[in-house]
């Protein structure tokens, strides 16, 4: 299905993953919380992150995560569904995502799933 936006969604290939771009994307607490959330709730639509993150900020955070190769996005009707690319990341950087998810889940993030548990 075609993207609902005028420009296509860009997902880097496995060979194009850049560790420094990935770590830079994860340096933001909101993006780290999104990754941890997607690890436990694969296939979460963008609307699943409201009201914890505003729409325009969420769009920017998800674009950065997608362009770094951390998430995969696709459109299903009017929803944009997000999934962590854990298998691809584990293939390129073994055990990195396990460490990120475990450490990220232990960190104290204001948006980290307390608001999303009821969603």
Domains and CATH numbers, the chain: 16-106 (1.10.10.10)
Q: What whole-number distance in Å separates Cα of residue 87 and Cα of residue 94?
A: 9
DSSP state for residue 78 in the 8-state scheme: T
Asked whether the whole model's pTM tops 0.75, one would answer: yes
How confident is the model at residue 1, as a pLDDT?
Answer: 45
Q: Where are the alpha helices (DSSP H) in 41-81?
A: 55-68
- Torsions phi, psi of 44, nearest 5? -75, 130
One pLDDT digit (tens) per residue for the chain, 119 residues: 444 555 678 899 988 999 999 999 999 999 999 999 999 988 999 888 777 778 899 999 999 999 999 999 999 988 999 999 999 999 999 999 999 999 888 876 555 444 444 44
Q: Which two tokens stand for residue 63?
A: 């674009």
Whether omega for the bond prior to residue 51 falls within 30 degrees of 0, making it cis, is yes
How confident is the model at residue 99, as a pLDDT?
Answer: 94
């Amino acid at each position: 299905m075609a993207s609902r936006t005028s420009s296509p969604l860009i997902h880097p290939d496995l060979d194009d993953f850049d560790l420094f771009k990935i770590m830079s994307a994860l340096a933001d607490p909101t993006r780290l919380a999104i990754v941890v959330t997607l690890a436990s709730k694969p296939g979460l639509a963008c609307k699943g992150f409201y009201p914890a993150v505003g729409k325009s900020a969420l769009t920017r955070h998800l674009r950065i995560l997608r362009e770094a190769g951390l998430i995969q996005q696709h459109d299903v009707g009017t929803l944009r569904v997000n999934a962590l690319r854990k298998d691809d990341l584990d293939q390129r950087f073994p055990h990195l995502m396990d460490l990120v998810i475990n450490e990220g889940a232990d960190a104290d993030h204001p948006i980290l799933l307390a608001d999303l548990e009821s969603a």
